């Protein structure tokens, strides 16, 4: 009887040890999955979503035109590149872009200037757009005739921006694309200044 009791205790100890190892393995797996879910949650909690738009207003006595970026995400967007093309060709500076896009009829600077107000904001690499905030690289206040020309011009205007999250995940957005396209990294883009 003594031997049977020792065997029973030994078997019970082995079963308990095996059960403890199985529980430890399962607990490690659960902890690993929880850590992965926590990292995913943290990544998503700082994800930006930039919308690129052009807008115009034509009133009876005044008009306006603007190009803007709105961060509709829940984290800040870090701009890495901003470019503007008119009918497939890049231009340097807003003066050249506006003049060439309106067949040399609208000028924002110089002797030929025919807009009332010009507001420029830098959209350069490293610029942060906080969640829920906007950046307007250019806004023009002008006459209704010029605003009509600028509205027509915006049909051929392609504004693109490459931006990244704080976790270095990057996207390309454009006024011609409904949703941002995720990219591995932002390639070097010309920045439109003026």
* Cβ proximity of 76 and 48 under 8 Å: yes
Say yes or no: 38 and 83 in one domain.
no
Go through 97-123 and write b for each residue having 16 or more CB atoms within 10 A of its CB, e for each that does not: bbbebbeeebbbeeeeeebeebeeeeb
Confidence at residue 6, expressed as pLDDT on a 0 to 100 scale: 82
27 and 105 housed in the same domain: no
Same domain, 87 and 176: yes
Looking at residue 192, its pLDDT comes to 47
Q: For the chain, how many helices (H) and strands (E)?
A: 3, 10
Q: What is the pLDDT of residue 91?
A: 65
177 and 107 share one domain: yes
In a shared domain, residues 82 and 160 = yes
pLDDT of 194 = 45
Contacts of 109 (CB under 8 A, 6+ apart): 95, 118, 194
Number of structural domains the chain divides into: 2
The per-residue pLDDT for 193 is 47
* Model pTM above 0.85: no
10 Å CB burial of residue 46 (0-12, 13-18, 19+) is: middle
Reduced to 3 states, what is the DSSP secondary structure of residue 43? helix
Which range marks the domain in which residue 177 is found? 50-183
Regarding whether 5 and 29 lie in a shared domain, the answer is yes
Q: Are residues 96 and 154 in the same domain?
A: yes
Residue 102 located in a structural domain: yes
Do 168 and 95 share a domain, yes or no? yes
CA distance 84 to 186: 16
The answer to the question of residue 193 being in a domain is no
Q: What is the mean pLDDT of each run of 10 residues along the chain (194 residues)?
A: 77 88 88 82 81 94 96 95 83 85 90 93 93 96 94 92 94 92 78 46
């Amino acid at each position: 009887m003594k031997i049977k009791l020792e065997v029973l205790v030994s078997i019970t100890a082995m079963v308990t040890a095996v059960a403890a190892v199985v529980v430890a393995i399962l607990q490690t797996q659960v902890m690993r999955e929880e850590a992965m879910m926590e990292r995913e949650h943290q990544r998503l909690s700082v994800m930006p979503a930039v919308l690129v738009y052009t807008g115009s207003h034509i009133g009876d006595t005044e008009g306006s035109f603007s190009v803007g970026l709105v961060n509709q995400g829940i984290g800040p967007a870090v701009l890495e590149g901003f470019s503007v093309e008119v009918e497939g060709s890049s231009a340097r500076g807003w003066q050249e872009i506006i003049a060439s896009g309106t067949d040399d009829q609208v000028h924002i600077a110089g002797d030929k200037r025919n807009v009332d107000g010009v507001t420029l904001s830098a959209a350069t690499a490293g610029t942060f757009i906080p969640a829920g905030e906007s950046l307007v690289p250019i806004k023009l206040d002008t006459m209704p005739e010029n605003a009509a020309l600028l509205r027509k011009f915006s049909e051929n205007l392609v504004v693109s921006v490459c931006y990244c999250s704080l976790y270095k995940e990057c996207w390309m957005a454009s006024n011609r694309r409904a949703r941002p396209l995720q990219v591995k990294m932002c390639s070097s883009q010309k920045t439109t200044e003026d």
